[in-house]
A and B are shown apart, each in its own frame.
Chain A
Amino acid sequence: MSERISAVLLVAGASFMLLAGLGVHRLPDLFMRLQAATKASTLGVGCLLLGVAVHFQELGVTTRAVLVVAFLFLTAPVGAHLIARAAYAVGVPLWKGTITDELRHRRRAPEQATADGQEGAPIVPPTEKSDAP
């Protein structure tokens, strides 16, 4: 029974990781890719390590698995937030279908310098060429 639970957890975790890889490969924009990579891969690694703990059923292994999961659950959001902040500050272009950008006045992209201080100015579409579909 526990073998089956472990197998299901392993395959479920690997599926989430595959989803994360697919999201990073296919999504059009850095910030979408970032959320796919962070959330799906965190859940995937949680499921996988839970499957490892169920498979071995030893105190030492369970402790290590819980340690790794706790560490990743704490650090993955922090790392993703840092990257997103840095990328936004540097001026990575948003997807052209983005409808709101509430921080655009603080953005330092040169092509948006004319929109500075004007409330309700239209969002300038990204000029940098992207391979988005």
Chain B
Amino acid sequence: MSYGTWNMTELAPGVALGMVGLAMLLAFVRLVRGPTLPDRVVALDLMGVLAVGMIAAYAVATDQPGLLDPAAVLALVGFLGTVAFARYLERRGRDE
């Protein structure tokens, strides 16, 4: 790439990190406020996916490809947590 004319390519990972961080903040507000427990589960699920995206953007920003392994693990654990919460909700609803 040519220097001096347009260094959007160098800014891009930082911009992406900022945007995902803002999304994380909004999801966190929903996690705190959410009127019911399923609302909080949705916000937590979204935060897991956002963390995967944040790790990806950070891997590009710091040129560390090894950071993708934690992203894969986080995606897996996030799904398991969501499934566990959903089952717990359903069982609690039936029992009460």
Contacts and interface: CB of A to CB of B under 8 A. Distances in A.
Interface of A: 3-4, 6-8, 10-11, 13-15, 17-22, 24-25, 30, 33-34, 37, 41-42, 44-45, 48-49, 51-52, 55-56, 58, 60-61, 64-65, 67-68, 71-72, 75-76, 78-80, 82-83, 85-87, 89-92, 108, 128-131
Interface residues of B, number: 56
A86 B86 contact: yes
Contacts of B75: 68, 71-72, 75
Contacts, number: 191
A14 B15 CA distance: 8
A128 B50 CA distance: 30
A128 B72 CA distance: 39
A114 to B, nearest CB: 20
Grouping DSSP codes into helix (H, G, I), strand (E, B) and loop, the A interface class, with mixed when no group exceeds half, is helix
Given A30-B39, A56-B65, A71-B72, A45 B9 contact: no
A68 B73 CA distance: 9
B86 A21 contact: no
Given A61-B68, A82-B83, A17 B38 contact: no
Contacts of B23: 14, 17-22
Interface in B60-74: 60, 65, 68-69, 71-72
